Amino acid sequence: MEKRTGFVEANDGVRLYYEDKGRGKPVVLIHGGGLSRGWWSKQIPVLSQRFRVIAADTRGNGQSDKTPWGHRTARYAMDVRQIIETLDLDEVTLVGWSIGARTVLSYIELFRGYRLKGVVLVDEVPSIEVHDPPDPPETEAEPPPEDETEPPPEDEVERRRRELRKMFISLDVPDDELDRLLEESRENTPAQGVTLGPDYRAQDWRPMLPSIDLPVLITTGGRSGAFPGCRYMYEHIPGARMEVFEGSGHALFYEEPDRFNAVVTGFVDGLHAEFRG
């Protein structure tokens, strides 16, 4: 299936790279902070068989312009709006992971349901105050991995691989696959952490949650530190659905792609059920 690529120029002149594949109702994928659209490599080929899938690199990341400014979720939300408008998308399902989910919440705060049909929030918390380790399982706890007690590797590549591996619980990702993900982020703007980190810690979306009137699907790893925050959102967003991936961590869509893709497909199909004969 043909993949279309291009750049959307934001209103501050920053060019945002995107890839556009498939036909049908639009699904926009928003990756986590400091990463790239490559993290959706297990979603795009599958979801694009049913939907029009757009995956963009957020500013400063991947192939988007390496700007040192604008690294706040409100600015990221404006970038998403400008992608939606430039590509003339309507009835969009936003799928945001981690900082991408915060971007979705910011989009709703700023623009409410503008051109949206529904949203998928992937393993994020509405406030750092509800980001804690999940309740311990009833079964005997497993001992911590040996490498948690080891000093950081001196080799920079191996150190970065170890950081990525912390997001996976049940999946042993080969080094070459980790290296591909690292390479896509190699030239990302380091300055984004200067503003994005404090922005993240200062946000508290809890007061807004009861006002959300869009269909919401929350997906979370049962062994992720974001699990309590996802449960909080499920309890406070009217009509929200939640799917827990019990054996996964923060990157649940990467660890359990078949189930994640099926859950998202079912959710998007449900949003548009009234249009099918």
Q: What is the pLDDT of residues 23-61, one digit of tens each?
A: 999 999 999 999 999 999 999 999 999 999 999 999 999
Determine the pLDDT at residue 156.
84
Tell me the whole-structure pTM to 2 decimals: 0.91
Rounded Cα–Cα distance for residues 17 and 10 (Å): 11
pLDDT, tens digit (0-9, with 9 covering 90-100), for 138-158: 444 444 454 555 555 668 889
Beta bridge partners, 94, equal 28, 119
CA nearest neighbour of 123 among 261, 266, 227: 227
- Superfamily name and number for 3-136+187-271: Alpha/Beta hydrolase fold, catalytic domain (3.40.50.1820)
- For residue 86, the surrounding DSSP H or E stretch is helix 73-86
Q: Are 88 and 71 in contact (CB under 8 A)?
A: no
Q: CB–CB of 123/225 below 8 Å? A: no
d(CA 98, CA 230): 11
Task: Quote the pLDDT of residue 151.
Answer: 59
Q: Which residue has the tokens 């509800």?
A: 130
At 137 the pLDDT is: 45
- Taking each continuous run of H as one helix and of E as one strand, the counts in the chain are 9, 8
Residues 6+ apart with CB under 8 A from 168: 248, 249, 251, 254, 255
- Residue 157's pLDDT is what? 86
- Give the tokens for residue 107: 């989009």
The residue with tokens 């990702």 is 173
Point out the residues of the chain with pLDDT beneath 50: 134-144, 146, 275-277
**Residue 35's closest CA among 194, 160, 201, 221?**
160
Distance (Å, rounded) from C-alpha 47 to C-alpha 195? 33
Alpha-carbon gap, residue 168 to 250, rounded angstroms: 7
Position 134 scores a pLDDT of 47
Q: Which of 99, 142, 125, 144 is nearest to 224 (CA)?
A: 125
DSSP code at position 127? B
